[in-house]
Amino acid sequence: MQRRDLLIRSAGLLAALTFRPNQLSALGGPVLETGRMVPSFDLPGSSRTNPEQNHWTLDDFRGKWLVLYFYPRDFTGGCTIEARGFESTHEDFLSINAEVVGISADSVDDHESFCSSEQLSFPLLSDPDGNVSKQYGSWMAPYSLRHTFLIDPEGVLQERWVAVRPSGHAQEVMDSLRNLQSDTSI
């Protein structure tokens, strides 16, 4: 009986040491906390509407809201639905000073094909080793996980979505962004 009590107490202590009430964990690891600066990135990518640019950094989006969405793979059902959703709302995002960027482990060539096939007007960035995806808690090798981060013009995370359902997600992000912008304009 004494040994059992010791094991229970040890398990409770271990749980207390590892539990962080303000930190969300997902399959990909700890997900960024809202209200904090996001990690910088520098990744190659593809953009059908900006073919001369082949590298993007977080600094490229300073002064604008950024919808940074991670997804598993080009040309798959859910990823295509999600990309089409962001494409259908892309002009609306641009009209309220927001950019959309997708990140996956796919190659730049795959992104070029996907952007062309789906007529995507926003960049898709290549993170083949998952280095950036890991920093955002969005990596389970060999794929990025379907998480989205809404970053304000100063680089602070304002909203996050984990284990996203692709259908209707772009509109959900748009609604959240509009609410955040209306709250800050008061």
Tens-place pLDDT, residues 127-148? 999 999 999 999 999 999 999 9
Q: What angle do CA 15, 16, 20 make, to 5 degrees?
A: 95
Confidence band for 83, pLDDT divided at 50, 70 and 90: very high
What long-range pairs does 125-128 form, CB within 8 A, spacing at least 24?
Answer: 125/41, 125/43, 125/44, 125/45, 125/56, 125/101, 126/43, 126/44, 126/45, 126/46, 127/43, 127/103
Domain ranges for the chain:
39-184
Element housing 103 (H / E):
strand 98-104
Task: Tell me what pLDDT residue 77 has.
Answer: 96
Catalytic residue among 58, 79, 103, 125: 79
The whole-angstrom separation of Cα 56 and Cα 180 is 25
Model-level pTM? Answer: 0.84
Which CATH number describes the domain made up of 39-184? 3.40.30.10
The whole-angstrom separation of Cα 1 and Cα 54 is 65
Is 79 designated active site? yes
Confidence band for 28, pLDDT divided at 50, 70 and 90: low
